[in-house]
A and B are shown apart, each in its own frame.
Chain A
Amino acid sequence: MFFRHVVPVIKREVLALAGVSIGIAISAAIPVEALCGIPGIGQLAWQSALARDLPLLINISMLVIACVVVANSGADLLSEERRQPA
């Protein structure tokens, strides 16, 4: 019942939320990576901000924004696909 009736109804909202959460999750990665010493995009951004390395920082931001845009468009695409047959 849950998968047949509930999931199709809330699918669009859940997908839209998932698309937005990607951006929040990547933002949250900065303090986590910086404090736990995990080498990743977040730590690189932090180091470059501390070193005032603007070109690197702007490139990282562009990369992250590209990820977010792809995630948002993907979520839109999936929810559109779901809606079409109905």
Chain B
Amino acid sequence: MKAVRLAATVLAAILVLASIGGSFLSRFDYAVQDREQVNAGPSSKHWLGTDDLGRDRFARLLHGTRVSMLLAPAAAAVSVLLALTVGAAPGFFGGFSERAAKTAIDLFLSIPWLFLLLTVRAMLPLNTSPAVSVTITFLMLGILGWAAPARILLARARSMRQSDFIVMACSIGVSPCRLLGKHVLPNLHPILLVQFWISVPVFVLAEANLSLLGLGVAEPLPSLGSLLRELETVMSFRGDLCRFAALIMLILIVSGMQIAMSEREVS
């Protein structure tokens, strides 16, 4: 199992490096259209060929990976921080705030999130710029994805409230702020990390889902989902090359899950 996890980490690291160094690996810009070569096959000039507008597929793949790699962890961080404030703090203090937090978590868990995302995304005007649309898409994912981590953090914080060392700390008069920062947060840290690593692949997948429907990242900015979208049109003869996007997504998701699992074992 250890070898599998090492391989997963190495693959994820290679992807990160490739996406960061994407502009060095490929000579083309992701948005430049080469109308002389539309739907071309792989060649020494275009490594993975070109799409139906003549854009270099390799550059688009690297840039799409970079978009997901940058923003999915950011969204995961947002959702874990939200979960910490909404889940862990009320769970620790108990009483009315805990009941309120529990109700809110149940409410958010029962909402079909894809419908909510579709609705919010449809409210954006059509002329939103690509950069704004991609930021809003991931921000929405982060804001909507806090419920599941919050539930786990709440349960953990509540069990910690009744544990001996907290009771002792309270009895010698440690202030609530110090209690949270010095005693509760370090104990929640492993769970936070696990939740973070679990959220990353989930958000990658959610973004791909949205982009596949044409409601995620706007053209001409590529993303893994909008690259997969090319598979839908049978028109593009070289559609099979888009499978690289699927492959990268698979690697990302499996690696994220494996890292999450190894984090869980360490904790």
Contacts and interface: CB of A to CB of B under 8 A. Distances in A.
B126 A52 contact: yes
Contacts of B111: 23, 65, 68
A56 B49 CA distance: 41
B213 A30 contact: yes
B110 A26 contact: no
Contacts, number: 66
B121 interface: yes
Contacts of A30: 114-115, 118, 209, 213
Main secondary structure of the interface of A (DSSP, over half): helix
Interface string A23-53: 1101110110011000000000110111011
A26 B110 CA distance: 12
B208 to A, nearest CB: 9
B44 interface: no
Contacts of A27: 112-115
A26 B122 contact: no
Most buried by A among B113, B121, B122, B212: B122
Main secondary structure of the interface of B (DSSP, over half): helix
A72 B110 contact: yes
A69 B107 CA distance: 10
Nearest to A22: B112
Interface of B: 109-116, 118-119, 121-123, 126, 209, 212-215, 232
Given A24-B112, A26-B112, A50-B215, 20 more contacts: A20-B110, A23-B112, A27-B113, A27-B114, A27-B115, A30-B114, A30-B118, A30-B213, A31-B213, A46-B118, A49-B121, A49-B122, A50-B122, A52-B126, A53-B122, A57-B119, A57-B122, A58-B119, A65-B112, A68-B112
24 contacts: A23-B110, A24-B112, A28-B114, A30-B118, A30-B209, A31-B213, A34-B212, A35-B212, A46-B213, A49-B118, A49-B119, A49-B213, A50-B122, A50-B215, A52-B122, A53-B122, A60-B115, A61-B115, A61-B119, A64-B112, A64-B115, A65-B111, A68-B112, A72-B110
